Amino acid sequence: MMLSDANNDRLADGNGDYNGTTLTLSRAADDQLGFAQGSDLQLIDGQVMKGDTAIATFSQSAGTLTITFLAGASKADANAVLHQITYSNTGADTNGTLVKLALRANDGKADSQTVTLDVLITNNTAPTLDATTIGNKTYDTHGTVVNPFSNTTISAGDIGQSIIELTLTIEGVDNTANEFIVIAGTRIDLASDGSGQAGDYHYTYTRNYETGTLTISHEVGVTAAAAQTLVNGIAYVNDTEQATTGTHTITLTSLRDNGGTEGEGNDTGDLAISATIALAINNAPGWQNTITNPDATLYYNNGTLSGYGEYVTAIAVSEDGKTLLVSGSDGANAGGNSTLRIYSRDSTTGELTLVQTFIQGEGDNPDTAAMEANGLGGITTMTMHGNDLYVAGHSGDATTY
């Protein structure tokens, strides 16, 4: 549909000047006529604003909408306003009812013919969301920002509706530390419950054992395009500098619009869009001290220390107790071949998990899981200075160290 007036269209160097032109749209008192934001136009306090300039007044009463264009409103502006009018029905019209709206224009001198617009009443349709996920992403460098979702497409379900809420879950958060979900540029700590503002949005985060639930809402709602930008901008970041393993699965679970549930309508779309992040951080650990007589209650591995069968020659533990370093040899009295192993420690249970193994060698053999490092023969002691680890030992000859 196009609004046109031969006299108005010739004004303003052919751009049209619709100052004083009025649009009237009406049917019944239970019709609600509104305005969809967009095209640099927004409805503020009964005026349609283009940037900082009012180009029309917008008022409705008893089911009749009246729009009066102001000075500076071009033909393009007038048609943009016409195309952004929205309709909803709060009456008893049932799903499938066809209603007829009457539209009339007046250029200040004469009325146009009345145009009848047919509108089919339907129940509110749930919004939909589709997105591309990163699948199963290996996260191996602390501080890296990863976006689980991209190419998001959202439909609010019905014309003129807005998105007011998005919910997602994060699995595997029972032992998180220095890990965050980023929403609209705001970091949300996965280790503890919290709520607050993230840009224009409000968020609430709760954690129940290994599952975190994050709800993001907007009081008046945002356009589908803005919601798409929100989802594409969701990010995960891990700031821990210790060896870290585990898996986080981030799932978009529901999307809600402002259409309500009256008349058996549905305002919430159920989602099941998941991305998995596998943690494999193996940064240089910051060892605090050397322990020659470790407390038996400090370490626990449910029986056997995974991957270990040598004579222990030295033990070191990180300051936060989350990383353990063990050196040993396959011969008594530090004889034979030495091995250096790094374990991550569960801060809740004390359970140890093997993260990395180093053995003596001058090249990294791709056929072995262990990493080769020259100078690891006959380790007898270890010491840390800052983030650097120093090992000392012998070559197998008692006179040579």
pLDDT digits (tens, 9 = 90+) for 302-361: 545 655 667 777 887 766 667 778 887 777 666 677 888 888 877 666 677 888 888 877
CA 147-151-157 angle, to 5 degrees, is 120
pLDDT of residue 285: 46
pLDDT of residue 380: 74
Asked whether the predicted pLDDT for residue 136 surpasses 50, the reply is yes
Q: Give the rounded distance of the alpha carbon of 220 from its chain centre.
A: 20
Mean pLDDT across the chain: 82
Return all residues near 35 (Cβ < 8 A) that are at least 6 apart: 41, 42, 43, 48, 58, 81, 84, 85, 86
3-class DSSP assignment, residue 193: coil
- Looking at residue 38, the DSSP 8-state letter turns out to be B
* Strand pairing report for 244-257 and 186-189: unpaired
- Which CATH class for the 128-281 domain? mainly beta
3-class DSSP assignment, residue 366: coil
pLDDT band at 55 (very low <50, low <70, confident <90, very high): very high
The predicted-structure confidence for 221-243, as pLDDT tens digits, reads as follows 899 999 999 999 999 999 887 65
pLDDT of residue 262: 64
Asked whether the predicted pLDDT for residue 210 surpasses 70, the reply is yes
- Taking a C-beta distance cutoff of 8 angstroms, is the pair 320, 329 a contact? no
Asked whether the predicted pLDDT for residue 286 surpasses 70, the reply is no
383/377 Cα distance (integer angstroms): 16
Considering only 120-129, 131-140, 379-388, which range has the smallest mean pLDDT?
Answer: 379-388
pLDDT of residue 176: 85
pLDDT of residue 270: 93
Query: What is the SS3 string spanning 234-294?
Result: CEEEECCCCCEEEEEEEEEEEEEECCCCHHHCCCEEEEEEEEEEEEEECCCCCEEEEECCC
Spatial CA neighbour of 172 closest among 217, 233, 230, 236: 236
Task: Give 140's Cβ-side CA count (13 Å radius).
Answer: 4
The one-letter code for the residue type at 366 is P
pLDDT of residue 298: 45
pLDDT of residue 242: 67
Task: Give the mean model confidence (pLDDT) for residues 144-168.
Answer: 89
145/138 Cα distance (integer angstroms): 12
pLDDT of residue 304: 54
3-class DSSP assignment, residue 162: coil
- Taking a C-beta distance cutoff of 8 angstroms, is the pair 113, 13 a contact? no
pLDDT of residue 239: 86
Residue position matching structure tokens 């269209």: 9
Cβ neighbours around 369 below 10 Å, total: 11
Cβ neighbours around 386 below 10 Å, total: 8
* Strand pairing report for 31-35 and 85-89: antiparallel
pLDDT of residue 65: 92
pLDDT of residue 306: 57
Structure tokens at 71: 């000075």
Task: Give the mean model confidence (pLDDT) for residues 253-271.
Answer: 81
Spatial CA neighbour of 214 closest among 231, 232, 239: 231
What's the CATH code, domain 6-120? 2.60.40
Counting residues of the chain whose pLDDT is more than 70, the rounded percentage is: 79
286/204 Cα distance (integer angstroms): 34
Return all residues near 308 (Cβ < 8 A) that are at least 6 apart: 326, 328, 341
Asked whether the predicted pLDDT for residue 25 surpasses 70, the reply is yes
pLDDT band at 199 (very low <50, low <70, confident <90, very high): very high
Task: Give the mean model confidence (pLDDT) for residues 145-151.
Answer: 94
Task: Give the mean model confidence (pLDDT) for residues 134-162.
Answer: 86
φ, ψ dihedrals at 19, nearest 5°: -55, 125
- Domain boundaries, given as residue ranges, for the chain: 6-120, 128-281, 287-393
Structure tokens at 58: 């917008």
pLDDT band at 169 (very low <50, low <70, confident <90, very high): very high
pLDDT of residue 319: 67
- Looking at residue 382, the DSSP 8-state letter turns out to be E
pTM: 0.49
- What are the DSSP E strand ranges found in 91-185? 98-106, 115-120, 128-133, 136-139, 145-146, 149-155, 163-171, 179-183
- Taking a C-beta distance cutoff of 8 angstroms, is the pair 99, 32 a contact? no
pLDDT of residue 290: 46
Task: Give the mean model confidence (pLDDT) for residues 284-300.
Answer: 46
Same fold, 6-120 and 128-281: yes
Spatial CA neighbour of 89 closest among 57, 58, 66, 123: 123
Spatial CA neighbour of 343 closest among 328, 333, 329: 328
The predicted-structure confidence for 58-71, as pLDDT tens digits, reads as follows 998 888 999 999 99
pLDDT of residue 361: 75
